[in-house]
Structure 1
Amino acid sequence: MTFRIYMAVFSLLFLASCSALVSQKTGQRTKASSLVDYLYPDEQSREAHQPQIPVLTLPVKVGLAFVPSKHWQHDGIQSKDQIELLDKVKRSFSQYDYIDHIEVIPSTYLTGGQGFITLEQVARLYDVDVMALVSYDQVTQSVENNAAVLYWTIVGMYLIPGNENSVQTFVDTAVFDVKSRTMLFRAPGINKLDKRTTAIGVDDTLSEKSLQGFHLAVEDMSKNLDAELARFKTRVKEEKIAKIQHSENYSGGGAMGLFLLLCGLALLKIRAGFNKRAR
């Protein structure tokens, strides 16, 4: 009799430990940061904003940062992962001659406040003219399906339910001239991942796919950002979206300037050769 009681207690404890391995976080969860909520925290701030034509001094200095999580909750992306993702975005800016340097700024500097006043303070601290703010919205969903797995244990068969897991990620970079508080352009990126697992592996799977989703969405966004950066000069000329002035040490040539210089030197060399032959 005593042996049966011990076995019953042991069975209950064993099943409880197995149940503990099964995620209790099924359903839908969201990680998000809102650009609008951050820059315009109330109706008064939205009404007070008057759009202006920005004046940009080339080459511009750019700051990159993630918008803090919505409602100031714990960030949906860890700090080290934020830096790694922003380094990908940084490469999109680095190839253009009208950009001086790019500073990657941890979102903790933005978390202490909200609105354009905080943005201006951070810009002064890092000595940047333009801020590129990356916001995100990621929805993870885990739903039980019929892909259950039977495990044989010392107390008999134990059923582990299966789960359909999906992670949909949206990221967006909005580039603002800090002084005029005007958005210059923006670029989106999206990604969706799906994976079927047993319920025991749900938490690890969702964490892994969450980070993978952010990386893939940022890669997609970087392509769109490249296109917007390439169009920016044309839009300034044709759509008059900004006034441009140049710093004293800016030639505006970049790679094209070097190419024209080399062509000029080549022409001079050819001309010298013709003169030498003529003599």
Structure 2
Amino acid sequence: MKIRILITMLGAIVLSSCSSFVSDNTGKQTQSSSLMDFLYPDEESRVKHQSEIPTLQLPVKVGLAFVPSSNWQRDGLHGKDQVELLENVKQSFLQYEYIDRIEIIPSEYLNGGEGFATLEQVGRLYDVDVMALVSYDQVSQSLENNAALLYWTIVGMYVIPGNENTVQTFVDTAVFDIKSKKMLFRAPGVSKLEKRTTAIGIDDTLADKSLEGFGIAVENMSTNLDAELARFKTRVKEEKIANVEHRADYSGGALHIYCLLFLCVMLLRKITGR
């Protein structure tokens, strides 16, 4: 009897610590990309950097990309997932008449780059004037919570180690004028997800919640980005944060107004018979 009790106790202890055997994702895991590390790869580049008031050619051409992961880590998002998320961000830009087009640029073009020099190269390659860079920081944490997972099975009582899984995601879009190296505006997004699982389910749960967390954070960021884009035109006029020039084929929406006024005048003349 004592031997059976001892074996049961030892089994419970082994099971309570088995999450570290069945998964490499227990404890705290972090995946991130740093905007500052990418733009200023060394201290000297940060000291030398002197931004100037940008001159924007309307309508602007925008490049959109994820900042590569930091410290030689594997990117937290696969290329396909990055493109799908950036398509959502792209919609925030498309509704404004002062934006010509938005090019989604794979993060591979920024890998191993040297800050603004790389942005200038990518700008020439894709013919864009402005770059919107999306950086991220995601922390996944899996902590055992044994007391909550005590099960009766057909062969007796077993303690199955449980895990409280939390995934917190922060994303940030910073929009830069490439030529002047001036940041025009930025918009953040956050999300926090929690789910309890058994030890066996840690890897699948964290993988699913990681992607879901990115999706929610990007959606939150897109809402904030939309607000910043709406404010940007007003800030240019009131705060003089940028000089504006118009391309030869750009009317900034004025042409549509003139056409509407012309049609109103013609309609009025037809009604009055003049």
- Report the TM-score when normalising by structure 1: 0.87
Alignment correspondent of 1:4: none
- Over residues 58-111 of structure 1, what are the superposed CA-to-partner deviations in whole Å (9 max), with x where a residue is unaligned? 011000000000113211111000000000010000111111110000000000
5 Å-filtered alignment, 1:45-84, equals 45-84=45-84
| Aligned partner of 1:269 among 257, 267, 270 | 267
2:6 equivalent in structure 1: none
- Note if contact 2:32-2:135 (Cα within 8 Å) is conserved in structure 1: yes
Equivalent position of 1:150 in the other structure: 151
Native 8 Å contact 1:32 1:70 kept in 2: yes
Q: Deviations over 1:109-168 (max 9, x none)?
A: 0003221111111111111000000000011111111222437477x6543211111111
Distance in 2 of aligned mates of 1:202 and 1:261: 61
Find out whether 1:36 has 2:36 as its counterpart. Answer: yes
Q: Are the aligned partners of 1:22 and 1:201 in contact in 2 as well (CA < 8 Å)?
A: no
In structure 2, relative to structure 1, the CA distance for the partners of 1:258 and 1:200 (3 Å cut) is same
Deviation, structure 1 residue 261 = 2.6
Indicate the residue corresponding to 1:114 in structure 2: 114
CA contact (8 A) 2:150 2:157 kept: no
CA–CA distance in structure 2, aligned partners of residues 151 and 120 of structure 1: 64
Tell me by how many angstroms 1:257 deviates.
4.7
Question: Aligned residues, how many?
Answer: 258
Structure 1 Cα separation of the partners of residues 157 and 188 of structure 2? 49
User: Residue type matched to 1:109 in 2?
Assistant: Y
Q: Is the 8 A contact 1:72 1:111 kept in 2?
A: no
The aligned counterpart of 2:250 is 250
SS in 2 for 1:164: strand
Q: Which runs of 5+ in 1 are unaligned?
A: 1-11
Does the aligned pair in 2 maintain the 1:149–1:162 contact within 8 Å?
Answer: no
Matches within 5 A, 1:1-279: 22-145=22-145, 146-150=147-151, 152=153, 158-253=158-253, 257-258=255-256, 261-275=259-273
Code of the residue aligned with 2:64 in structure 1: it is L
Q: TM-score, normalised to structure 2's length?
A: 0.88
- Partners of 2:61 and 2:26 lie apart in 1 by 44
Residue type of the alignment partner of 2:265: L
Q: Give the AA of the match of 2:177.
A: D
Compared CA separation, residues 192 and 260, structure 1 to 2 (3 A): farther
8 Å Cα contact 1:63-1:102 kept in structure 2: yes
Amino acid in structure 2 at the alignment position of 1:101: R
| Letter paired with 2:25 | K
Using the aligned pairs only, state the percent identity.
65
Q: How far apart, in 1, do the equivalents of 2:114 and 2:75 lie?
A: 15
Instruction: Tell me, yes or no, if the aligned pair for 2:31 and 2:73 is still in contact at 8 Å.
Output: no
Q: 2:161 & 2:148 partners in 1: Cα distance?
A: 7
The alignment yields a C-alpha RMSD, in angstroms, of: 2.0
For residue 202 of structure 1, give the secondary structure of its aligned residue in structure 2.
helix
For residues 58 and 134 of structure 1, the distance between their equivalents in structure 2, rounded to whole angstroms, comes to: 23
Q: Is the 8 A contact 1:151 1:160 kept in 2?
A: no
CA distance in 2, matches of 1:165, 1:113: 35
1:72 counterpart SS class: coil
* Residue 41 (structure 1) shift: 1.1
